[in-house]
Amino acid sequence: MGLKIVVLVKQVPDHEAIIQVKSATELDIEDRYVCSFYDEIAMEAALSIKKEHPDTELTALSAGGRRAVDALRRAVAMGIDLVERVGDEPLDSAESLQVAEALATRLKEHRPDLVLCGKLAGHDDQAAVGPMVAEFLGIPHMSAVVSLKVDPAGRKARAGRQVEEGVWTIESDLPLLVSTEKGLAEPHIPVVTRVMKAMQAKIENFPAQIESKESVRRIGYLPPPSRPEVLLMTKEFPDNVAELVGRLQETGALS
Amino acid sequence: MTNEIWVLCKIKDGQPTRTSKQMLNAAGALAAEKDLAPVKIVLGGEPYEATRHLAALGQLIDSRGKPWAILAGAGANDLELMPRLAARLRTGYAGSVVGLRWEGDRLAAKRPVYGGRAYEEIAFVQTPALVTVRPGAFSQPGELDPPETMGMETVAIDVSQSPGPVVLEQEATASTAEDLSEAPRVVAGGRGMGTAGNFKLIEELADALGAAVGASRAVVDAGWRPHDEQVGKSGKTICPELYIACGISGAIHHVLGMNTAKVVVAINTDPEAPIFKNADYGLVGDALKVVPALTQALKQSLNKE
């Protein structure tokens, strides 16, 4: 019996999309959504595991509405075997705990050996859904993984985790959830024919089952901190260096 | 339910880290407003592993009662631990928090969303409120040591016995001698440094300041510097007291990683570079000439003090 891997994917605004605070209750988000960078790394890592162990089944799972469909089309284009969507539009703005529960409930049906997901998604930036899913499934997890080796026969995985001090090598039994850090894999750009094919893919939708109650409530949105206009050094080199040091001394930044 | 606010402290060289001290001070101030007690929690047990540390924290909650809030630094390990604990307790979680206050009887947290292009403030409806704090974000003038009188609990964790993942090896990366996200000062270099070898100039300036070295995405992608030095989206988000950007143009993905720094200095040949819109002090000039001169000038001025 081969490996079963499920990759959790999500559509997020492109990193260059313009996002502004419209009011305390609303953001203005430019309609430029892409599959989350870290999720694409997770898919590529799954594809390379399958290359090494061909008897592997890859499924991509996404929670939410039409954007989840887009993320899953990207998964098909990248070469993921099966795709599934859980829940609908309300999950797009649900809190991490509820999204994680909806995903975990669906994952329990799959009983995967390995769950892969991005370290964080570029929308709420919580980095929470992965660890929360692992908790709901009752399996170990490792975050910010930069290297991964799976041993299906021994039912083990060995991963390199990026921590502040360096890289830790950790071994775990399967099943396991791994969240990906930049460096684990280099996502390939799907060929056009696959992208076209992905547009036709049928994507099954499953209802979300959520018991978690509201745990946080948004008070409002705020603009990012802004800085006063820059103070440019006016003297010629090298006097402008001394001028800069003088300015820094005034601020107390050097003491 | 206890009347406590817990702070999960990270200890380095026998001292709480900069972020831990900041969290202790913040917890002390929040606790004082509501007649709560701040408690310093040290999870002892090396190496860290999420499953066992989580179990230990769960036991502590069972024995002491649920606190009002648990604060932890948003380091790699706390980011594994805290969301998972939230799922276990089915309670609220807020990550990368830059500010905390009371909204009535509820704790409110301010945090960046969309990579820092906007911020949100949320109130915790369930307790305990679980919070990871962006490293360095709770900085205060003087960085006072938290009072010795603060409650203290050291939790010993046996990492060798129970089943679960095993840490086989801890490889330290040479470049992270000074942890970038904890460092009060950071000197970062970009494409304007010209070559990988020229980062020696960045290292020398960092040395003179007792700062950590950072890098832009361009130079990390070019292989000049390791990824753990990358500042910005898909790298680290940092809040040092002083940030010096050398030869960095200031693309949005970089700015989002450093725009919460206290004082920002930009050195760049191009006066139109966007980095100057995100800096307090700007010097238009060639970083290759300015950086070594700045190193010399700072050495002299710091020696005088």
B4-156 belongs to which CATH class? Answer: alpha beta
Residue A216 lies in a domain: no
Q: Which of B167, B173, B233 sits opposite A15 (nearest CB)?
A: B233
For residue B229 the two structure tokens come to 């030095």
Model confidence pLDDT, tens digit, residues A71-109: 999 999 999 999 999 999 999 989 999 999 999 999 999
Judge if B4-156 and B174-304 fold alike in CATH terms.
yes
> Is residue A124 less than 8 Å (CB to CB) from chain B?
yes
| Structure confidence at residue A191 (pLDDT) | 95
What does the domain layout of chain B look like in residue ranges?
4-156, 174-304
- Nearest Cβ partner for A170 among B90, B165, B263: B165
pLDDT band at A234 (very low <50, low <70, confident <90, very high): very high
For residue B143, what pLDDT is reported?
A: 62
Instruction: Measure in Å the smallest separation between the Cα of B218 and chain A Cα atoms.
Output: 14
Instruction: Count up the domains in chain A and report the number.
Output: 2
Beta-carbon separation of A237 and B305 below 8 A: no
Taking chain B (305 residues) in runs of 10, the rounded mean pLDDT of each run is 90 84 92 92 83 88 94 90 96 95 96 91 96 87 68 72 81 66 93 96 95 95 92 88 96 90 96 96 97 95 71
Cβ pair B121:A225 closer than 8 A: no
Structure tokens at A205: 């939708």
CB contact under 8 A, A164 and B117: no
Q: Measuring CA to CA, which residue among B258, B253, B113, B272 is closest to residue B188?
A: B258
Which pLDDT tens digit goes with each residue over A133-155?
999 999 999 999 999 999 999 99
Tell me what the mean pLDDT of segment A40-62 comes to. 97
Cα separation, A151 vs A56, whole angstroms: 12
Sheet containing strand B69-73, strands side by side: B93-97, B129-133, B69-73, B4-8, B37-44, B151-156
Q: A212 in a domain, yes or no?
A: no
pLDDT at B159: 66
> Is A83 part of a structural domain of the chain?
yes
The answer to whether residue B110 neighbours chain A at the CB level (below 8 Å) is: yes
Using CA atoms, how far apart are residues A128 and B132, in angstroms rounded to an integer? 11
To the nearest whole Å, the CA of B3 is away from the closest chain A CA by: 20
**A195 to chain B, closest Cα gap in Å:** 26
Is A140 within 8 Å of B165 when comparing Cβ atoms?
yes
Residue A27: closest C-alpha in chain B = B118
Whether residue A213 is contained in a domain is answered as no
Q: Which residue has the tokens 């006063």?
A: A228
Note whether A165 contacts B168, CB cutoff 8 Å: no
| Same domain membership, residue A235 and residue A136 | no
Residues 6+ apart with CB under 8 A from B106: B123, B124, B125
What residues 132-151 of chain B have any CB closer than 8 A to a CB of chain A? Answer: none
Predicted pLDDT of residue B178: 59
List strands edge to edge, sheet with B263-268. A231-232, B281-284, B263-268, B242-246, B185-189, B212-215
- Mean pLDDT (chain A) is 94
CB contact under 8 A, A97 and B116: no
Q: Is residue A58 part of a domain?
A: yes
Residue A22's domain is classified under what CATH number?
A: 3.40.50.620
The answer to whether residues A202 and A231 belong to one domain is no
Residue A237's domain comprises 225-255
Supply the pLDDT for residue B74.
82
- Interchain CB distance below 8 Å, B86 and A142: no
Question: Which B residues 4-43 touch A at CB under 8 Å?
Answer: none
Q: Kindly report, residue by residue over A191-228, the tens digit of the pLDDT.
A: 999 999 999 999 999 999 999 999 999 999 999 888 99
Q: Measured between CB atoms, which of A132, A169, A219 is closest to B169?
A: A169
Residue A214 lies in a domain: no
Q: Are residues A197 and A232 in the same domain?
A: no
Q: Clarify whether residues A202 and A229 are in a common domain.
A: no
Chain B nearest CA to A31, separation (Å): 13
A29 touches chain B (CB under 8 A): yes
Q: Stretch A17-46: mean pLDDT, rounded?
A: 95
3-state SS record for chain A: CCEEEEEECCEEECCCCCEEEEECCEEEECCCEEECHHHHHHHHHHHHHHHHCCCEEEEEEEECCHHHHHHHHHHHHHCCCEEEEECCHHHHHCCHHHHHHHHHHHHHHHCCCEEEEECCCCCCCCCCHHHHHHHHHCCCEEEEEEEEEEECCCCEEEEEEEECCEEEEEEEECCEEEEECCCCCCCCCCCHHHHHHHHHCCCEEECCCCCCCCCEEEEEEECCCCCCCCEECCCCCCHHHHHHHHHHHHHCCCC
B50 touching chain A per CB within 8 A: yes
Q: What is the CATH number of domain B174-304?
A: 3.40.50.1220
Predicted pLDDT at B149: 67
